[in-house]
Structure 1
Amino acid sequence: MNGNATTGGDGPIPGEAVRHGTGVHSTRAFPTEGHPANLDPFVLFERFYIDPDEGFPMHPHKGFEIVSYMLEGGMEHADSLGVEHTAREGEAMRITTGGGIRHSEFPADGEACNGLQLWVNLPREAKEADPDYVDASAEALPTRETDGATVTTVVGEGSPIELRTPTEYLDVRVDGEWTWTVPDGWAGFLYAVAGNGSVGGDAFGEGDVFTTRAGGEFGVAADADLRLVAVAGRPHDEPIRQQGPFVL
């Protein structure tokens, strides 16, 4: 991983292709061979692509929170709490797995879908919390215009999606120049969803990830329209012990 003295971050580096056992394909930002570590408090982040005949049958999770954010198509969710919901483009779901939950994920309407999924570690004292679920429509996620960008808040101020870890998750469409500000001591990452541009002067395009572990300000510029997500959170300073679908 290349250091970047201009911005104080790491990267950008390309995400890596992952094929899940169910046949679902993803582009993973971390952990990967190129970025082998978790990014406390974040366990993993990836863009998933589910074809009509694929999906994730009912399976267990525990010890973390999941944020799924849809980019195209719809994804049907069902879980052991009795929830059944279809999330569509621009909509988000949060699952607090806590002491344990089972859920399934399949594409809706017989059509492919793709989206983003983030796993956020739960602090030690919350590992056995009661499982919980909440979703948000696209209209419920606040969107604002700033100099050089349009910003939708998926998690953070004004969003109905809340986590047990202080976190900000932004969907940003950059058409000029935009500055990403991460609080001191927080960890965070940028992931390019579409388009091309730069971070701190370094090329940054679809599937690339840029990370920071110490906060700071990072200049982003679009060569053409650039869409990215900007995610930052306060570390727990606790080990992240992932064993498949469980984070212990």
Structure 2
Amino acid sequence: MKRSVKDHWYVEYSEQRFPSIQKGWVLPADRWREFDPFILMAEDWFKRGTFSDHPHRGFQTITYVIDGRLEHVDNGGGQDILHPGDVQYMNAGWAARHAEEGVEDDIAHTLQLWLNLPSHLRKTETKYQNVYLEDVPEVAIDGGSVKVYSGDIAGEKGPLESLVPITLSEISLTEGASYTHQLPENHNAFLYVLSGEVSVGENDPVNLKKHGVATLTYEENGDETKKSEIKLDAKSRRTKVLVYSGVPIKEEIVQHGPFVMGTMEEIKQTIQDFQLGKFGPSSQ
């Protein structure tokens, strides 16, 4: 199966009140049904104090550091500093409480993806996994490389392991290079252009430059063991693209602030649980 572009757009950014600096919605939250199992993705530039201690419940996050340094602290005793190319996975599960901060005077530049949990996994244990750039398999291809963060891609298995299996790859290409990326045919997928310019798809290809987003066609009732293909042609040097994919969960959700649940009643219970201290002490 050959994939093509289903929809595409460019991220629009807005200036924020300090210490937050700028934000853009790569995947707008009000379109989550199109992106299932993904809920939203935000691109943020921020300094220390923007995302201090806060709670989450009912979903997972995948945070990719583009630039600067990102410090993570959680109330389970976890603490680390992530650098460009590093990724953090969090299963918020039933109750996460953490902080995500720029380090010292750094401006942290990140992409944070919200990945849904099926209802039967929303009460799972909170978990964090740091994936460091040096531990990510890198596959050399003609005119570039593919870093495999998650899933089985290009003969390598990525180290990131989420409760809802996904693929995450970073594809780097030189001008004129072509690469055919393979994904399970039943995975809903999107890509984001970090730099350069790329033509996506073979039939009626779409050109995208930096900050461009594209969702891809897929076989909704396809076989996960069968592969589909999306062709990428680099139109400029230093083209870099992130590709994400996952199997749709097909459940209704309610997103309210830092919580994602199935109903508004569950959201109200979550807020009450947080107010009653059931998420534990502050992370800071």
Q: Which TM-score applies when normalising by structure 1?
A: 0.89
Distance 1:182 1:19 in 2: 36
Distance 2:4 2:243 in 1: 16
Cα distance change, pair 159–20 in 1 and its aligned pair in 2 (3 A)? farther
Contact 1:24 1:55 in 2 (8 A): no
Amino acid aligned to 2:109: N
Deviates more, 1:20-29 or 1:216-225: 20-29
Question: Could you tell me which of 33, 36, 43 is aligned with 2:39?
Answer: 43
Q: State the partner residue of 1:55.
A: 50
Question: Could you tell me which of 10, 35, 58 is aligned with 2:6?
Answer: 10
Contact 2:11 2:213 in 1 (8 A): yes
Q: Secondary structure at the match of 2:35?
A: coil
Q: Which TM-score applies when normalising by structure 2?
A: 0.78
Q: Displacement, 1:18? A: 5.0
Contact 1:30 1:37 in 2 (8 A): no
Q: Secondary structure at the match of 1:89?
A: coil
Deviates more, 1:108-117 or 1:167-176: 108-117
Q: Displacement, 1:57? A: 1.2
Question: Could you tell me which of 76, 98, 101 is aligned with 1:103?
Answer: 98
Deviates more, 1:52-61 or 1:195-204: 52-61
Q: State the partner residue of 1:234.
A: 247
**Runs of 4+ with >4 A deviation:** 18-22, 35-38
Distance 1:237 1:173 in 2: 32
Percent identity over the alignment?
26
Contact 2:3 2:217 in 1 (8 A): no
Distance 1:56 1:140 in 2: 27
Say if 2:27 is the partner of 1:30.
Answer: yes
Q: State the partner residue of 1:131.
A: 126
Q: State the partner residue of 2:183.
A: 182
Q: Displacement, 1:239? A: 1.8
Q: State the partner residue of 2:74.
A: 79
Distance 2:16 2:256 in 1: 15
Distance 1:17 1:37 in 2: 23
Question: Could you tell me which of 135, 143, 166 is aligned with 2:138?
Answer: 143
Q: State the partner residue of 1:194.
A: 195
Distance 1:147 1:32 in 2: 36
Question: Could you tell me which of 230, 235, 250 is aligned with 1:223?
Answer: 235
Contact 1:30 1:38 in 2 (8 A): no
Unaligned runs of 5+ in 1: 1-5
RMSD in angstroms over aligned alpha carbons?
A: 2.1
Distance 1:9 1:197 in 2: 12
Q: State the partner residue of 1:3.
A: none
Q: Displacement, 1:7? A: 4.4
Q: State the partner residue of 2:274.
A: none
Amino acid aligned to 2:135: A
> Which structure dedicates a bigger proportion of its chain to strand?
1
Distance 2:59 2:15 in 1: 22
Cα distance change, pair 247–19 in 1 and its aligned pair in 2 (3 A)? farther
Contact 1:71 1:89 in 2 (8 A): yes
> Which structure dedicates a bigger proportion of its chain to helix?
2
Cα distance change, pair 87–146 in 1 and its aligned pair in 2 (3 A)? same
Q: Secondary structure at the match of 1:125?
A: helix
Deviations 1:35-63 (A, max 9, x none): 5755110011232212x355211111111
Amino acid aligned to 1:41: P
Distance 2:14 2:91 in 1: 24
Unaligned runs of 5+ in 2: 220-227, 262-284
